[in-house]
Amino acid sequence: MEADIVIKNGMVLTMDDKFTLHKKADVAVSDSKIIDISEKTPYSGKKIIEAEGKLIMPGLINCHTHAAMTLLRGLADDIPLDVWWNKFIFPIEKKFVNSEFVRIGCGLAAIEMIKSGTTSFADMYFYEDAAAEICKQIGIRAFLGEGILDFPTPDSKSADEALIKIEKLHEKWGKDPIIHLMVAPHAPYSCNPENLIKSRKLADKLNLPLHIHLAETSAEVGEVENLESIGFLCDRLSAAHCVHVSKTEMDILKKHKVKVAHCQESNMKLASGMAPIVEMNDLGITIGLGTDGAASNNNLDMFDEMDAAAKVHKLVRSDPTVMDAKTVLKMATGGAAKVLLKEKEIGSLEVGKKADIIILDLNRPHLTPLYNIYSNLVYSAGGGEVDTAIINGKLIMENRDILTIDEEEIIDRANSIARRIENEIKT
């Protein structure tokens, strides 16, 4: 019996519901799926990957970002949020964001994410067809949400035009194995109730996830109750941030089975506040982790995100037992898959699931000794330990080399766009 890829002799962290850990096992992959996990697989492989001394685990899932905003990384840091938006981000986006900006920015983000262990990400931005094309070329699994706002965006004159774009994107990409679509109204403060309901109806019609910013800042108090009153909340909705939500609103989120994308580092950097993630998790609300955009984080490394999410909530509650390493790692894998409505396909290593796999080198000083793999991954590891990535059964990165695109060319193109932006700011 022959498989497409066989990974041999690695420690296998499945992140299944039983947290099954194989001290030493093989993983066989064929036709985009995992076909065997066993101590010694009966499958031979067209491609053999030796993983002695390495960890085989599910790829991390970034539940919320604005991928093309990598091109705005470091543009405006350490300033109030309203100044950040109105003086820098919005004017630059209005002048520079086009399909080429999104293609290069999203390509840069995809490379960064793969090289730090992320195999799937959820995006909300513009020109998402360009994002889909570059993600397809690179081979990263992408959940793409065309931004819907009441006012004109870089690629749509109105919310109705954006909704039409989403339907066309669905016609083009709806059956693609790694390009998935979302309906993404920006936020309750930027979308009126009519456009929110139109978005909800379109998500229902096309059977797509619904994605929104919710209660991110102290100016957005009461949004959950308002959304419930108009019939927007539902089990296909993932809400990014949810920082300023009351106990009553958390109960409302649970009642409607709304999922939450927690962006710890962005919330800290923008001083948005501390999301009650511990309380939401205790209520049984499904939670995944996200980085937010690189303009407000400033990286897309989910290992950094896990570390911050685990430690900060311990600090603010003076309780070292909350947000334990195993819980946080689950939020970046299986929990995140549930947020994106793909828990039957991704988020864990199980026979029959999609082969979205990363391999980490454990032979590092800061990962030695290895008493608890969950603790080492959340508190000690970084994206630089990831040396191999397989997405949808295809080898995308090997020995830290991206195999599907010229990384240097993307970096050069990104720097070229950045120079134009910098010249604009100086004038």
Predicted pLDDT of residue 427: 65
Number of domains in the chain: 2
Q: Looking at the domain assignment, is residue 411 inside a domain? A: no
Q: Give the domain CATH number at 37.
A: 2.30.40.10
Q: Are residues 53 and 65 in the same domain?
A: no
Q: Looking at the domain assignment, is residue 72 inside a domain? A: yes
DSSP-derived secondary structure for 195-243: HHHHHHHHHHHHT--EEEEES-SGGGTTHHHHHHHTT---TTEEEEE--
- Give the residue ranges of the chain where pLDDT is below 50: none
Burial readout 279-300 (b: 16 or more C-beta within 10 A, e: otherwise): ebbeeebbbbbbbbbbbbbbbb
Q: Looking at the domain assignment, is residue 354 inside a domain? A: no
Q: Are residues 70 and 25 in the same domain?
A: no
Q: Are residues 292 and 380 in the same domain?
A: no
Asked if residue 6 lies in contact with residue 51, where contact means CB atoms within 8 angstroms, the answer is no
Asked if residue 85 lies in contact with residue 293, where contact means CB atoms within 8 angstroms, the answer is no
Q: Looking at the domain assignment, is residue 407 inside a domain? A: no
Q: Are residues 298 and 192 in the same domain?
A: yes
Q: Are residues 104 and 234 in the same domain?
A: yes
Predicted pLDDT of residue 79: 83
Predicted pLDDT of residue 265: 97
Q: Are residues 140 and 160 in the same domain?
A: yes
Q: Looking at the domain assignment, is residue 346 inside a domain? A: no
Instruction: Among 304, 339, 374, identify where a domain stops.
Output: 339
Task: Dump pLDDT digits (tens) for 230-279.
Answer: 999 999 999 999 999 999 999 999 999 999 999 999 999 999 999 999 99
Q: Looking at the domain assignment, is residue 420 inside a domain? A: no
Predicted pLDDT of residue 190: 96
Predicted pLDDT of residue 85: 79
Predicted pLDDT of residue 82: 76
List Cα–Cα distances, 44 to 3, 5, 52, 53, 359, in angstroms.
6, 8, 17, 21, 19
Q: 35: domain range?
A: 2-58+359-402
Q: Are residues 392 and 374 in the same domain?
A: yes
Instruction: Among 306, 339, 372, identify where a domain stops.
Output: 339
Predicted pLDDT of residue 183: 98
Q: Give the domain CATH number at 108.
A: 3.20.20.140
Which is nearest to 309 in space by CA: 282, 286, 273, 277?
Answer: 277
Mean pLDDT of the chain: 97
Q: Are residues 91 and 172 in the same domain?
A: yes
Predicted pLDDT of residue 76: 86
Predicted pLDDT of residue 88: 85
Predicted pLDDT of residue 352: 98
Predicted pLDDT of residue 149: 97
Predicted pLDDT of residue 424: 83
Q: Are residues 48 and 95 in the same domain?
A: no
Q: Are residues 48 and 89 in the same domain?
A: no
Q: Looking at the domain assignment, is residue 351 inside a domain? A: no
Predicted pLDDT of residue 145: 98
Q: Are residues 125 and 24 in the same domain?
A: no
Q: Looking at the domain assignment, is residue 408 inside a domain? A: no
Predicted pLDDT of residue 142: 99
Q: Are residues 50 and 64 in the same domain?
A: no
Predicted pLDDT of residue 90: 85
